[in-house]
Structure 1
C-alpha cells in the first residue's frame, strides 16, 4: 500500500456542522479498514489533512471523492500527494 497525504481547504465552513457527522463516520470507517492513518483540521480552521493508504493514486482519489465533505462541497482546493514515509518505517 502507498501513503497519500490530502491537504484541503474549507470552501463552505457554514456547511461544516451539517455534514460533520457523516464525514467523521466515513473517515472513521476508512480508519477501521486501514485506509486512513489519521486526519484532522488545522487549528486555525482554514482546512486540514487526511493521510490515506491506497494501492495507487486513482484508488486514493476514489476514497477522497466519496467523502461527504467533498460531495457536499464543504472542502475544496484538494491536493493529494504520494508521501514517502521515513519514520516510522514499515520494515
Structure 2
C-alpha cells in the first residue's frame, strides 16, 4: 500500500460552493471503502488535501479524476507520492 497526497487548489470558488456536498459525499464514500487516510480543507480557503492509500499511481489518478470538484472544474489537482514517517 502506498500513500499519495493530493492537493486540490481552488480554481472556481462559486463552483466549489455549488459542488461541495457532492465532493464531501464522494470522499466519504471513498473513505468508507478504505481508500482515504486523511482529508481536509485549508483554512485560508486555498483548497484542500486528501491523502489516498492505494497500490498504484494509476488508481489514485482515477479516483481524483472522478472527484466532483475536479469533474466540474472547481479545483485542479496535484498528486505526490507521500512517504509517511512515524
TM-score between both structures, scaled by the size of structure 1: 0.90
Indicate the SS of the match to 1:48.
Answer: strand
How large is the RMSD of aligned CA atoms in angstroms? 0.8
**Larger Rg over CA atoms:** 1
Q: 1:79 and 2:78 equivalent?
A: yes
TM-superposed deviation, 1:48: 1.4
Counterpart in 2 of 1:49? 49
Runs ≥4 in structure 1, deviation > 6 angstroms? none
Unaligned runs of at least 5 residues, structure 2 = none
How many residues are treated as equivalent by the alignment? Answer: 86
TM-score between both structures, scaled by the size of structure 2: 0.95
